[in-house]
Amino acid sequence: MIPLSVLDLATVGTGSTPAQALRETTNVAIVAEQLGYRRLWVAEHHGMPAVASSAPAVLIAHLAASTSTIRIGAGGVMLPNHSPLVVAEQFGTLEALHPGRIDLGLGRAPGTDQTTARALRRTGDLDAESFPDDVVELINYLAPDEGPPSHPAATPGRGYLPEVWILGSSLFSARLAGTLGLPYSFAYHFSPGPLDAALEIYRSTFRPSFLLDAPRVMVAVSTICASSDDEARWLAGSSALGILRLRTGRLGLLPSPEEAAAYRFSPAETLFVEETMSTHLIGDPETVTRGLLALQRRTRADEIMLSTRIHSSEDRVRSLTLVSAQWNVAQAAGRDREPPQTAS
């Protein structure tokens, strides 16, 4: 069984508010748990009106308290924005409150523009080259150790280590995850090009660690599922116009499908959007599931994470529900086709 998980950005659509978006993400987490998704992650972004998940640790605490079994985590925390000790104390606290259910995905990008990054760090140093050392420092604050506490020390600290992942969309992150012996989550949903090369590097450079004895891969992919292919394409108009506005510096709330339908894309804009969204899985349950199965076969992923950017929260929940049901059918059919085990 290949589990599915959810990436949710607390999306703020036109006509909505950040408060409403956060309530909707809470509902998504509750439904995802009921549907059997393995984990739900939120991601750190700043200065983006359409994304309300700027403070992952705070949101994770609320989501974990609103659920009971699904893993909740950050996909991720942009570590160059923060002191490793601060992140260690935040996620050590979360792990103490919700033992065995907290994930800490670490990213190297700032998740925002350079001006906002400077404001976040309160320093002019925007160099992310210390990221590998920062990851090790953070883990050392929380890893079990029988020796005396180091100074400085996180509190809650040793023994309160969540499940740590390296996130990435580049070969650098793949090599780092392999070298450190950490699980690796690739951001195929917004950077599909390096996928195969990154996974090859990760697996070939993997060194077992006290956290993980064999490579472990998760791939995040954009999915929009509806009852029909036509309806799914209609809903995907929001993402198309939102991506275009984002890439051209016109930040705003996620547009509705009606706004997208009314927008007149130029030929160049149409080509850009089609190329950018060519790896998104958009369609009815069978269409999306075929795409997920092909992606899993291609990557040999141990887990697939769905990023579903839809204007309406109800349609987002419906998409996750349809995919979950069809995925379970496909997984059961795959088990039935497996040859029976013979006794040795």
Residue-wise pLDDT for 77-102, tens only, equals 999 889 999 999 999 999 999 999 99
The pLDDT of residue 147 is 73
Torsion angle defined by CA atoms of residues 190, 193, 197 and 200, in that order, rounded to the nearest 10 degrees: 40
Contacts of 203 (CB under 8 A, 6+ apart): 178, 215, 217
The pLDDT of residue 120 is 76
Contact 299, 241 (CB under 8 A): no
The pLDDT of residue 344 is 34
Contact 44, 81 (CB under 8 A): yes
Structure tokens at 247: 């890439």
- Residue 340: is the preceding peptide bond cis (ω within 30°)? no
The pLDDT of residue 339 is 54
The pLDDT of residue 127 is 58
Structure tokens at 68: 């009971």
Contacts of 185 (CB under 8 A, 6+ apart): 75, 76, 105, 165, 166, 167, 168, 217, 218, 219, 220, 305
Per-residue confidence in pLDDT tens, the chain, 344 aa: 899 999 999 999 999 999 999 999 999 999 999 999 999 999 999 989 999 999 999 999 999 999 999 999 999 899 988 999 999 999 999 999 999 999 999 999 866 677 777 777 655 555 567 899 999 999 999 998 867 777 899 999 999 999 999 999 999 999 999 999 999 999 999 999 999 999 999 999 999 999 999 999 999 999 999 999 999 999 999 999 999 999 898 999 999 999 999 999 999 999 999 999 999 999 999 999 999 999 999 999 999 999 999 999 999 999 999 999 999 999 888 766 655 544 43
The pLDDT of residue 1 is 87
The pLDDT of residue 145 is 81
Coil/strand/helix, residue 23 = helix
3-state secondary structure 37-97: CCEEEECCCCCCCCECCCCHHHHHHHHHHHCCCCEEEEEEEEHHHCCHHHHHHHHHHHHHH
pTM: 0.93
Superfamily for domain range 4-336 = Luciferase-like domain (3.20.20.30)
Q: Which residues pair with residue 107 across a beta bridge?
A: 78
For the chain, how big is the Rg over CA atoms in Å?
20
The pLDDT of residue 142 is 95
Contact 74, 42 (CB under 8 A): yes
Residue count of the chain? 344
